[in-house]
Amino acid sequence: MIFECEFRKIVNDGGYTPPQQIFSVDETGLYWKRLPSRTNIRGNEETTPGLKASKDRLELLLGGNAVEDLKLKPMLVYHLKTPWAIKKFEPNFPMIWLANKIARITKSIFKHRFSTYFCPTVEKYCTEKNLPHKALLDNATCHPSTLRKISKHIKVVSLDNHIIHSTNGTRCY
């Protein structure tokens, strides 16, 4: 309940139009070829000579505003720049595809995505909806702290730091 008042103060003082100008962006990872940890097959896989357990990983960044009328184009990071399975679809691929050796969204990738895609997309959205050019972004603690300096129109607030646990153990905002 404490943060609810603090959050309302941030929204009211900043003149944001909730929920249209309130955004959240976060990433999730997936070991997509990895076998479940509790199977007989996995036990055999790890003990078979010359066979290594697959650790093929990808990471996906998703985001949008609270009213859900602006969903940001997903960004996928994988260790291959262009896998053969998507080569013919690449020009019309429905997401931004990036590659690095560790298949993770690094701080530099996130910062680049923020400045080259998120900021212009929010500006265009605000113009189309006749809203003031500004937005409030929920920033996860793993994202770069320098985001606050990139755009004067986007206020970055880490909502994760403000989650309060109530006395009965449920989370309240």
pLDDT at 172 over 80: no
151, burial (CB in 10 Å: exposed 0-12, middle 13-18, buried 19+) = buried
Cα separations in angstroms, 103 against 21, 78, 79, 115 = 31, 4, 5, 21
In which band, very low, low, confident or very high, does the pLDDT at 32 lie, cut at 50, 70 and 90? confident
Which tens digits make up the pLDDT trace of 85-134? 777 776 777 888 888 898 888 888 988 899 999 999 999 999 999 999 99
Report the percentage of the chain scoring pLDDT > 70: 73
pLDDT at 152 over 90: no
Radius of gyration in angstroms for the set of CA atoms belonging to the chain, rounded to a whole number: 20
Question: In the prediction, which pLDDT does 71 show?
Answer: 93
Mean pLDDT of 74-78: 91
Tell me the C-alpha distance between 61 and 29, whole Å. Answer: 9
pLDDT at 165 over 50: no
Question: What is the value of pTM for the model shown?
Answer: 0.74
The number of folded domains in the chain is 1
Mean pLDDT of 1-28: 84
Mean pLDDT of 47-70: 79
Q: Do residues 26 and 62 make contact, with C-beta atoms less than 8 angstroms apart? A: yes
Can you give the residue range of the structural domain that contains 134? 2-172
